[in-house]
Chain A
């Protein structure tokens, strides 16, 4: 109803349909906005209760009633309200999109790469193309309505939303983080890493950035403190929330820690690798994920081309040559 009311208000404002000079009928509104007459009436009623619109004609002849914007508020205030509702306000930087989303949703939290950014973790300062929202199943109807409206707003074209439903979001690890205008529910770092890795195709996840944060920031911290518990916590979050799919996370961890061992012969990495539980079957990572892990290693702890030149990292992007370098045939002294 709120979304319909906002659409109606914007329509009336754009066409400057102010009392008493101009008015419009329900049929026209219904046609132009593509809403059923019933929804138009409910939206108008809400606006009327807020004192934003007035009904012009004989209440006994409802069918022919017309409506106008009230003169109670100035155009500017109304325009700001509509701008806020449609998310145009976000463009002015007075409010963030997360705070705006928070106006419409209840049992949800932000996750994915955005959650890492809000938690202050970023490697390349990359913002994904969208937002990953984890919401409770009971919110489906509300979120569907919100999403139908969201697609029509200017934000809908800029940020794509991906929503993952959970039976009970209290099973997840999130907390409210104070932003400038509102505190919004945001996944903790382990939860955000789990959600990002297990929803790597989501618009709200930049998997390279997520893996860069994991490999470049979190893994060195974990190894420095031999913090096996941190890894176990992520695994248990994933197992509780994602069921069988959590084996993907196990495979990612195993791959990252074994690689760390291969590069640095770090026994802590080997110990954590050994502590990662075995899945039911041997899970093979897709080549896409493996390449992203390669890139993340390169982008973070292995450095860039300098390290590659020094031979500290393999060059995965180089084109394959068609021959074996001749020097390779030279023997090393036994």
Chain B
């Protein structure tokens, strides 16, 4: 019989402090790491959750990538093909390609692996129970995917329990809010649990959600070692064991990105155009960058794209790149 960490919050809430996190392939970094990341990136607005988010993504990625899934998308390309100082931050979700259409079977196996690895826990209070750490279907995103006609893409999500790191506000839902959303506040023990939670500090714990998109299609892959985005700040040392994973072959990735670039460019989606062009640096690895130089120059000639790179709402994604290339045009000149 399998076992899963089960914590009755009415009697043993201290065990949450002992548990700390459901991350297992990475260890929780210290606050100095967050500070180091921001001193290097020189960001105006601080997003302290970013370095932790990167490690949460890495932990989830390892579970999935070691189960016959091919890593793809921005996270995969940046984690596997670019040097630490050339990475675009792709921290929204993780994309995979599956050759097998039996995705739920694979996800079931991954959940089993997470349970075996003690990476999941059930919390209970009275009659209410909830779990953290496992992967489940993201029904809302599935609705959106079906609306846009993406029949071959499946979306899942994984919740992760994170402890506070120093005084930094991490990303995700407050642990107590998460429990409240799952009806725990209906229990008569709720108030006493909240008091206890505040006393022992678990009210500052967060539940982060990682989105996982899986596309069913035939794709070629290469084996690469995936590295955390903040390798530049020493993020690698928090990874408990380095792993090689299957990642989409650059040629396939470039073909997919090319289509996306023209689509975004024509639709005038500024941020998506810039980020896709940046990922298309992959073409240079294949010696095909000249085919893209026309569109790259067009982008370099337009103010909105240059501004998006330097100071757009989502420009924090280019923070690592901006250390080396202060302007988008410099990056385009070098790569295209």
Residues of A whose CB lies within 8 Å of any CB of B are 254-255, 258-259, 261-263, 265, 267, 270-271, 273-278, 285, 287, 290-291, 294, 308-312, 314-316, 318, 320-332, 334
Whether, in the assembled complex, B259 has its beta carbon less than 8 Å from a beta carbon of chain A, the answer is yes
- 9-residue interface stretch from B140-148, B291-299, B320-328: B140-148
* Separation of A271 and B91 alpha carbons in the complex (Å): 32
A262 contacts which of B4, B111, B146, B151 (Cβ < 8 Å)?
Answer: B111
16 residue pairs bridging A and B, Cβ less than 8 Å apart: A263-B136, A270-B134, A278-B2, A285-B105, A310-B142, A312-B139, A314-B104, A323-B217, A323-B256, A323-B259, A324-B217, A325-B153, A326-B260, A329-B257, A331-B314, A334-B314
Query: Is A274's CB under 8 angstroms from B137's CB?
Result: no
Question: How far does the Cβ of B318 sit from chain A's closest Cβ, in whole Å?
Answer: 12
Question: How far does the Cβ of B171 sit from chain A's closest Cβ, in whole Å?
Answer: 8
Chain B residues positioned under 8 Å from A331 (CB to CB): 92, 271-272, 275, 314
* Separation of A316 and B104 alpha carbons in the complex (Å): 10
Chain A residues positioned under 8 Å from B215 (CB to CB): 324, 328
Whether, in the assembled complex, B234 has its beta carbon less than 8 Å from a beta carbon of chain A, the answer is no
Question: How far does the Cβ of A326 sit from chain B's closest Cβ, in whole Å?
Answer: 4
Our count of residue pairs bridging A and B at CB distance below 8 angstroms stands at: 138
Query: Is B217's CB under 8 angstroms from A255's CB?
Result: no
Chain B residues positioned under 8 Å from A328 (CB to CB): 73, 95, 150, 153, 213, 215
* Separation of A329 and B92 alpha carbons in the complex (Å): 11
* Separation of A81 and B92 alpha carbons in the complex (Å): 77
Chain A residues positioned under 8 Å from B153 (CB to CB): 324-325, 328
Whether, in the assembled complex, B93 has its beta carbon less than 8 Å from a beta carbon of chain A, the answer is yes
Question: How far does the Cβ of B80 sit from chain A's closest Cβ, in whole Å?
Answer: 17
Chain B residues positioned under 8 Å from A287 (CB to CB): 102
Residue of B92, B130, B213 ringed by the most chain A CB atoms within 10 A: B92
Considering only CB atoms, which chain B residue lies closest to A285 in the complex?
A: B105
Whether, in the assembled complex, B126 has its beta carbon less than 8 Å from a beta carbon of chain A, the answer is no
A326 contacts which of B1, B144, B259, B275 (Cβ < 8 Å)?
Answer: B259
A325 contacts which of B101, B131, B150 (Cβ < 8 Å)?
Answer: B150
Chain B residues positioned under 8 Å from A308 (CB to CB): 146
Considering only CB atoms, which chain A residue lies closest to B101 in the complex?
A: A316
* Separation of A267 and B102 alpha carbons in the complex (Å): 23
Query: Is A259's CB under 8 angstroms from B95's CB?
Result: no
* Separation of A254 and B260 alpha carbons in the complex (Å): 39
* Separation of A276 and B2 alpha carbons in the complex (Å): 8
Considering only CB atoms, which chain B residue lies closest to A263 in the complex?
A: B137
Residue of A285, A314, A331, A332 ringed by the most chain B CB atoms within 10 A: A314
Give the interface residue-count category, chain B: 35 or more
Closest A-B pairs by Cβ, 9 of them:
A311-B142, A258-B108, A267-B129, A311-B143, A325-B150, A329-B260, A326-B263, A311-B146, A318-B151
Question: How far does the Cβ of B234 sit from chain A's closest Cβ, in whole Å?
Answer: 23
* Separation of A278 and B74 alpha carbons in the complex (Å): 38
User: Apart from A326-B263, A329-B73, A334-B171, what 14 extra A-B contacts exist at CB < 8 Å?
Assistant: A276-B2, A278-B1, A285-B105, A287-B102, A310-B139, A312-B142, A314-B142, A328-B153, A329-B257, A329-B260, A329-B276, A331-B92, A332-B93, A334-B47
Query: Is A310's CB under 8 angstroms from B146's CB?
Result: yes
Query: Is B112's CB under 8 angstroms from A258's CB?
Result: yes
Whether, in the assembled complex, B62 has its beta carbon less than 8 Å from a beta carbon of chain A, the answer is no
* Separation of A265 and B271 alpha carbons in the complex (Å): 34
B264 contacts which of A261, A278, A323, A329 (Cβ < 8 Å)?
Answer: A329
* Separation of A294 and B236 alpha carbons in the complex (Å): 40
* Separation of A304 and B129 alpha carbons in the complex (Å): 30
Residue of A291, A311, A316 ringed by the most chain B CB atoms within 10 A: A311
* Separation of A276 and B115 alpha carbons in the complex (Å): 14
Whether, in the assembled complex, B308 has its beta carbon less than 8 Å from a beta carbon of chain A, the answer is no
Query: Is B150's CB under 8 angstroms from A327's CB?
Result: yes
